[in-house]
Amino acid sequence: MSNLISGAPRSLGQFDVGLLAYGMWRFDNDDIAHAQSLVEAALAAGMNLIDTADIYGFQSVDVGFGEAEEIFGRVLGQAPHLREQMVLATKGGITPPTPYNSSAEYLRSAVEASLRRLNVDVIDLYQVHRPDMFTHPAEVAATLTELRDEGKIREVGVSNYTPDQYDALAAHLEFPMVTTQPEYSVIELGPLRDGTFDRAMRDDITPLAWSPLGGGRIFADGPDGMNPELTAVIDGLAEREGVDRTAIALGFVLAHPSDPVAIIGTQKTERIASSTAALSITLDRNDVYAIVQASEGVPLP
């Protein structure tokens, strides 16, 4: 049985990262000791890519914007040695109550605000969080280039961009992007079909899959979770491999030939450690196609 999961590190331009990453979209507990324990557990598990965003922690227009970055910055302030062990990624461009803003003025202010909140001098990977359809990609590219030239960011990527939106920005950049960040899981197969993964393989960039556990839906059945056919396939593979649903779901994400990174966001250190079981399983072509067909509910032609 040929294993489709490559154990090789993923390349983010000048950085190599693990197959699993730690995401901070649920990082809203201001218990700094606990927050530090989560970061340390992720790094110990080989998750050297730490992914956050300025919108994480947002609760209302007046509350929570930048909260996850601030908490992370406090962790780095009291444990600065951790900074050297990670590739630090953040995102900007979601601007409540205005949905999106990628203007030159805003992106620059967002990067500088993230640097202050994170308590760092440079962001290793900066991604535009969602495309601003009313800013020309040439303006976005010029701003990202200036910030990179100034040493405020090192590498650039995009999040939640369509393939055409990605192409439009790439056409105006004089350097390559290194990431695209789509939602992808056994429940959400869009990147397989819409060209996102194809662009990634064409340009040799790394997909960063958010919500690889379907936002927890893999643990539920029925309308709010997996359909019965998908549940049966996932549970059968889990029994065969001697693991739980989490490992199979993460393994499926990692099995695509574009070599994605799966970003997990648990707030429990024990689940951070246990998620690495996905790195020791075997999924072959029959397995992944069985998952696809069960997820979509129809046989492939």
Q: Which residues are catalytic?
A: 56
Tell me how long the chain is: 301
d(CA 35, CA 57): 14
C-alpha dihedral (267, 270, 272, 273), degrees to nearest 10: 170
**174: CB partners within 8 A, 6+ apart:** 145
> How many angstroms from the chain centroid is the CA of residue 255?
16
Phi-psi region of 102 (alpha: psi -120 to 50; beta: other; left: phi over 0): alpha
d(CA 240, CA 284): 13
Q: Write out the DSSP string of 252-285.
A: HHHTSTT--EEEE--S-HHHHHHGGGGGG----H
> What is the CA angle 16-21-25, rounded to 5?
135
Structure tokens that stand for 259 in this block: 């070599």
> What are the two backbone dihedrals, phi and then psi, of residue 126, each rounded to the nearest 5 degrees?
-115, 125
3-state secondary structure of 150: coil
> What are the two backbone dihedrals, phi and then psi, of residue 151, each rounded to the nearest 5 degrees?
80, 15
Among the residues of 45-180, which ranges form H helices? Answer: 67-78, 104-118, 137-149, 163-170
